[in-house]
Amino acid sequence: MGKVYVFDHPLIQHKLTMIRDKETGTKEFRELTDEVATLMAFEITRDLPLEEVTVQTPVCDAKAKVLAGKKLGIVPILRAGIGMVDGVLKLIPAAKVGHVGLYRDPETLQPVEYYVKLPTDVEERDFIVVDPMLATGGSAVEAINSLKKRGAKNIKFMCLIAAPEGVEAIKEAHPDVDIYIAALDEKLNEKGYIVPGLGDAGDRLFGTK
Ligand code: PRP
Ligand code: URA
């Protein structure tokens, strides 16, 4: 069964509070989302494999560790996931970026896929799917389906805020996927918004509405 990690790091929690604040404007929202994505990427990469090399320091030869060169892919769920990509790339700049375009039908809350473009070597890469919000879980489950259908085997899901319903939906549909969350909120409201949440992530990130 996939694990669920809720990051309680003080910097993540502080910045997330500012992101939630309805007085936080688009520019600041974007900057904070980027910063939290970097901090989360630091934690999410904790298990990356290392290999030993010899490095010459000014003093002598030393045995030291470098990343073993695992191929990684970051996949934002459009639109709002885009806001987390650069933050992750700051720490793993060699990662390739795929895109899955999904929107949630406002009536049915069902995800509608409109775009998929992934790196050609999907089977060889480990993927981190990013989206600020995990609400009903429909979008995340569908995005992960899309990756698996194209050959991805090792997938992590990372978001800022999750509702319990969304976590359960991923666990049920994709028990192999670990979930990384900055905050686990209380519930969904009747419109499928996370409570207390942060509102509509795409609109706040891009200044629409
Ligand atoms: C938001 C969010 C997630 C989805 C979460 O996107 O960025 O992708 O809702 O909801 P779910 O867990 O119930 O599927 P939205 O559908 O609003 O599309 P947008 O990013 O294009 O605004
Ligand atoms: N999508 C959002 O952007 N916000 C929510 O609270 C739920 C889904």
DSSP codes of every residue in 108-153: T--EEEEEEE--TTGGG-EEEEE-SEESSSHHHHHHHHHHHHTT--
Instruction: Say what the pLDDT of residue 81 is.
Output: 98
pLDDT along the chain (209 residues), means of 10: 94 98 98 98 94 98 94 97 98 97 90 96 97 97 97 97 98 98 97 97 95
| Residue 142 main-chain phi, psi, to 5 deg | -70, -40
Reduced to 3 states, what is the DSSP secondary structure of residue 16? helix
Sign, CA dihedral 84-71-96-55, equals positive
Beta strand pairing status for 187-188 and 194-195? antiparallel
Q: Which of 85, 139, 172 to mutate to test the pocket of ligand 1 (most atoms within 8 A of CB)?
A: 139
Residues annotated as binding site for uracil?
A: 194, 199-201
Instruction: Say what the pLDDT of residue 2 is.
Output: 87
Instruction: Say what the pLDDT of residue 1 is.
Output: 83
Tell me which residues have their CB closer than 6 angstroms to ligand 1. Answer: 77, 79-80, 103-104, 109, 111, 131-140, 166, 192, 200-202
Reduced to 3 states, what is the DSSP secondary structure of residue 31? helix
194 CB within 6 A, ligand 2:
yes
pLDDT digits (tens, 9 = 90+) for 35-53: 999 999 999 999 999 999 9
Q: How far is the CA of 173 from the centre of ligand 1 (A)?
A: 18
Domains of the chain by start residue, with CATH: 4-206 (3.40.50.2020)
Q: How far is the CA of 30 from the centre of ligand 2 (A)?
A: 16
d(C-alpha 180, C-alpha 203), whole Å: 23
